Amino acid sequence: MSLPHLSPDVARALKDRAPVVALESTIITHGMPWPQNLEMARSVEAAIRDAGATPATIAVLEGKLCVGLDDAQLEQLAQTKGAAKLSRADMAVCMARGGTGATTVAATMIAARLAGIEVFATGGIGGAHRGAETSFDISADLQELAQTPVTVVAAGAKAILDLPKTLEVLETLGVPVIAYGQAQLPAFWSRDAGLAAPLRADTAAEIARAQRMRAALGLPGGQLVANPIPVEAEIPRSEMDPIIARTMADAATHRITGKAVTPYLLQRIYELTGGRSLEANIALVLNNARLGAAIARELASLPAT
């Protein structure tokens, strides 16, 4: 069995030790509506190419773990109804059944490691949900960061989560949380979560060297690079907090649970912000893609450990 299936562009780049950036696919199937999801996917891939790296969007298509999608596959995925939302627990079952599914942060990290890709750019990671002290609802993304050696560039954890608890879990798991260019942890749509970041880096080169040093020390897991949304695209936390509180109450009223929570909340926030949350989401993903490409370029210039 050959795992994963590499697109020609990704296979060539990896063979040449050229920079490659992994991209998840749940943002396409579950995070944005059609046709904005396809436009976003194409724009993010183009931004990575323009920044001197090769994009590798990851998904399971008819049981095949694909690392790198062509434009026809991207369009097909963007219009797919009922694609599974895959994490570590259900990825293998979907593949064994010949199913189609979109990869979360955790599943994308697994596929990136299998392919030999060191950097992954996304929107925001999962984390500890509000009320996790009683529900134990904590994303598998955090455990994946603790064990899979991939640097993940995100605009922090999704702001609908319990960010202080998420940060505490990451600390317990030994995951480096590095804010890029500022001392504060960003909060997805907002640049400041009201929390100090444990670590700070101001250049892509610093981040790349830290990744190589972790490997040299034999430390498991990856790094979380928290890259703040561009100033011009930000929705301030003072504006977002009441909206998030209302969407959480709506979810509780309608008894939304499990994997359905995040897509429901994102859709309600989109409605309540008049579409501004989607515009901000696209801006931060593009920003993360560009930083991911810069880190991948720096890693390609360093000796492999």
Query: Known catalytic residues?
Result: 24, 158
Count other C-beta atoms under 10 Å from residue 127's C-beta. 23
Query: E strands along the chain, which residues?
Result: 5-6, 20-23, 54-61, 64-67, 84-86, 101-103, 119-121, 151-154, 177-180, 199-201, 223-226
- Nearest partner of 19 among 49, 57, 58, 59, judged by Cα: 49
Say if CB 150 and CB 24 are below 8 A apart: no
- pTM here? 0.95
Mean pLDDT value across residues 219-223: 97
> Is the backbone peptide bond immediately before 236 cis, with ω within 30 degrees of 0?
no
Q: How confident is the model at residue 127 (pLDDT cuts 50, 70, 90)?
A: very high
Beta partners for 21? 55, 119
- Nearest partner of 273 among 184, 165, 171, 160, judged by Cα: 160
Count other C-beta atoms under 10 Å from residue 46's C-beta. 13
Say if CB 102 and CB 260 are below 8 A apart: no
Interval 21-41: pLDDT, tens: 999 999 999 888 899 999 999
Mean pLDDT value across residues 262-279: 90
Interval 137-161: pLDDT, tens: 899 999 999 999 999 999 999 889 9
Say if CB 159 and CB 228 are below 8 A apart: no
Strand pairing category for 101-103 and 54-61: antiparallel
Interval 178-201: pLDDT, tens: 999 999 999 999 999 999 999 999
